[in-house]
Structure formats: structure tokens, C-alpha cells
Structure 1
């Protein structure tokens, strides 16, 4: 099985090196797996990409502008991988995941078993140091609430989900290549959630693997950053790249009822103006 691993990073050299080391050791433990890693260093000032290339010379490193963010970086990594396509599968990997090395060969075997019957996506859930699930899959909630999702956590066997966080996700190569990777309309957020929903619409189901695959601490939620920031910070987080209204509207237009889009748009603008003024949480 031949896979492309897509990773993006920015200015956390120690975290990235630890994550790549964990990734390489885990993939090397998998039988009959041929992999190539494509990493985008989005203009780090701490030499992240240089250090990755020094310690892991087989990793293909590209350098971004500093304005790619997560989705943009992963899109650039996919573009680099496309020169070596086709691949049997693509692994989307976050550099801050510390993998459980013993679990990844079983994850790989489960993915192969699922795909014997039908092309399927397998999602690896992550936990924090206390064992609480931080990233996993999701079930759709209300179709009228743009970001209403219910988390799907690991159980005793692979469990279906509608979409996912892409901290560690293995995706059928043919499907991923046919849709052109992640939607380039997104810069940072939404792209992984969008991909899972697109896959479901095209008949490619997603499943959460039965056990956590690694440790990944939860990032500070955007609403907390907004609440703690001053007016200038709130404005940037609410209306400027990469968190502005454009990606939200694009996601809503693709995945929510078109007739509801005007109402969804007005409600979101009103909510952000209240957040900007410090009148809402």
C-alpha cells in the first residue's frame, strides 16, 4: 500500500520534530506500507522546515508565505504530492499529535479491511494527557445550524460518522485525487469538516477507529480568544483572514439549505458584531 502523508507546520520546531518522529516510527511499524511525507513549513522563523529536512532527509519540505494557515498548508502539501500520484491513500496528519506507536499498525489493518468492501475513510481520535477525547468524528446536528455537530468517540469497533477532525485521518487515494484534495476556499478552519461531508455525499463513508491513536491537546477555542482579546484582536479574529466571514459563508452555502442562506448570513453577521462589541459570548 502506497500512501502520501500531508503535514503543515508553523513556528513550533520542537513540537513538529516530535510529531514527525512519532509519525515515522509508527508508520515504519506497519507491514507492507510504502509512504512519502510532504510537509509545508509556512514561513517559520524558527527553522522548522530546515530542522525537519536535517533530521528526516526523506521528507519533502516546501516553504509557504506565512499566510497559508492549516488548510492552505495542507492544500499546498497535496499539490506537492500530486507530482508523485497516484497514491492508494492519503494520510492527513497534525504535527502536534504524539502517536501511540503500537496502535498504528492495527489502524492500518482496519483501514485495509474496511476498504476491501467499499472505499472508506478511517478517523483516528486523539486524547489529552488526562485521557479525554479532544479530536474525533462528528454526527450532523440541526441542518439549520451551520456548525451543529455531535462528537463521535471511539467504541469497541469502527463507528460511522458524518465528518471529522483531520488530526490523523486516512483517506482513499482515488476519491481524494478526484475531488482535488481539500477545498482551497478555506484557509484555516472548516476544510476537514467540509471534506467529510463531501465524501458522504459522494458515497464514501467515514468511520472512527475503535481506540485513540495518540495524544493531542485541545487548542484554545476561537470564542475564548475573542472573549479575552481587545477590540483590535476581536476585529481580526471575527472579520479578517483567516477567520473572516468568507469561509463560513462558503461552508454554509455548500452544506446547508440554500433557502436558509440569507437568514444564516444575517444571523452570523449580527452575532459577530455583538461579539466585537463585547456584548455576547
Structure 2
């Protein structure tokens, strides 16, 4: 059984729709752990009344994404999970999402596998895996390279986001949980998948397992859309800032090959500063 871990903070309507989409699935062989990190909008009451089968753990509002996920992972592992999946609450899954996840588990039982992200509004593919080139500080987006007829099955990648990320127990036993000390909110998922890759585990994106996201709902998108000095500061320094320089520096020092670190750091900092101003 897959144990699905969903960290939440408010936005109970998103959480409800996410859980309902899982309920509509063709395969119900999963269990759910929701980690509610101090929601104040009635999320806990909604979960208790509408989804009594869901296990709910509680934080005090200071866990953020990474520590919330780790709390859920620990619970799942303590209850015998062989596979865990991290899933954000601001998305919905396709009806055959779990079915097509199990399909590839049977063929790649020790691989870390991500999902194909679709735009929930346009219903078009949005994110289909990334291959990073540290030497040139570039990211190849697999979705842009694959013709339509090849957008099926598994494809190798070098990093994966935490939305629909399937992790075998064997991976956690070897490399541990997410690095909540260095990366309390963003980047922890990319760091984790790089760590798994360095330790000999394969990374794939599963084009048969589709989930639907709302990219415009992210805090970083709103920071960029409503430009101000405050949002610029938040972008670079806030714990939820998508361009957080501390997180980027820590990620680089931990994951970038040593010869490429100086260029990667300088180029990356410039991209985060000037990218915000021009986009």
C-alpha cells in the first residue's frame, strides 16, 4: 500500500478537492496522512467530518513544508509503509493516477518516481521532468523535448519536485528523511532527489500518472505578479521565497560538483535578482 503524505496550512477547499479526487480513483489501495501545520480556517473540522478515514497529525504552525512532510513520513514508516508519496494539497489527481503509479512500481520497485503535472485550468501538460546541467547552469525541460507520441511511460530525469513524489522505503533507509535543517520549505524536494541519485537510485517522471496543479496559486507566482520592494525582499530572503538566496546557496554547496560551484553560484544569484525584475 502507498502511504500518501499531504502537508497543509489553511486553504481547506484545496485540501477537500485534492482528497475527493483521490476518492474518485480507479485504485483505492492507499492510505493518507495529512499534516495540518496550525491551520486556522477549519481544516481540522472539515477533515474530521468529511474524511474520517484520513489520519491527521498536527503541527504548531512552525513546521513549514519539509518538517511537515518528515512528520508524515515517520508516521507512515512506523506503520509499515513500503512506499510513501508526498503530495501537495493544491492539486487534484487523475482517476487512474494511483493505478498508473502501481503499474510502474512493479517494474521499477526501487526507483524514485515523479508525476506529470497538468495545468488544472487549461488541462495541458505543465511540467514533465527536469535534467540539470550544473556546468552551464541550465535546466532542460523534458516536456519541451519529447514529441507527443513519446509522452508516455517513464523517462529519466535528474531532479524532481515533491508534488506526487513516490519514494520507496529502501531509499529512506539509505539516505534518511528530507533535509529540514537546511531547507525548511523550498528546495528540499530537489535536494532529496539529487541525494537519492548520488546514492545509486534511479529517478523517473511517470507520464502515465497525471496530476492537475494550479500554478498561479503559488506564493512565488503572486510575489512576481504583484511587484513591490516588499515582495522583492520576500522573493530573495523569505522562507517561502522562490528565489531564496540562502536555500540556493545551500543547495549549490551540497549538490553542485565542486569545479562548477563558483560560476553556478554567481550566475544563479544574478538570475534570481534580475529575473524577478524583468519577468
TM-score range, shorter chain: 0.7 to 0.9
**Bigger shift: 256-265 or 244-253?**
256-265
Paired position in structure 2 for 1:177: 173
User: How many residue pairs are counted as aligned between the two chains?
Assistant: 268
User: How far apart, in 2, do the equivalents of 1:131 and 1:275 lie?
Assistant: 27
Aligned to 1:252: 252
The 1:143/1:79 distance shift into structure 2, 3 A limit, reads farther
Looking at structure 1, the residues matched to 203 and 34 of structure 2 have their Cα atoms a distance apart, in angstroms, of 25
The answer as to whether partners of 2:128 and 2:141 remain within 8 angstroms in 1 is: yes
Give the superposed CA RMSD.
Answer: 2.7
Q: Does 1:47 align with 2:37?
A: no
- Which is further off, 184-193 or 238-247? 238-247
Q: TM-score, normalised by structure 2?
A: 0.83
Q: Which segments of 5 or more consecutive residues in structure 1 lack a partner in the other structure? A: none
Q: Tell which deviates more after alignment, 239-248 or 189-198.
A: 239-248
1:87-166 pair list within 5 angstroms: 87-115=81-109, 119-128=110-119, 129-145=121-137, 148-153=138-143, 155-166=151-162
Q: Assess if the C-alpha contact under 8 Å between 1:8 and 1:41 holds in 2.
A: yes
Moved more, 260-269 or 211-220: 260-269
Secondary structure at 1:229 match in 2: coil
Instruction: Judge which range, 135-144 or 92-101, deviates more.
Output: 135-144
> In structure 2, which of residues 27, 30, 41 is the aligned counterpart of residue 30 of structure 1?
27
SS at 1:181's partner residue? coil
Distance 1:195 1:270 in 2: 25
**CA 143–238 in structure 1, closer or farther in 2 if over 3 Å, else same:** same
CA 1:68–1:133 in structure 2 vs 1: closer, same or farther (change >3 Å)?
farther
Aligned residues of 1:90 and 1:176 also touching (Cα < 8 A): no
CA 1:275–1:181 in structure 2 vs 1: closer, same or farther (change >3 Å)? Answer: same
2:107 is paired with a residue of what secondary structure? helix
TM-score by length of 1: 0.83
Deviation of 1:13 after TM superposition, in Å, equals 0.7
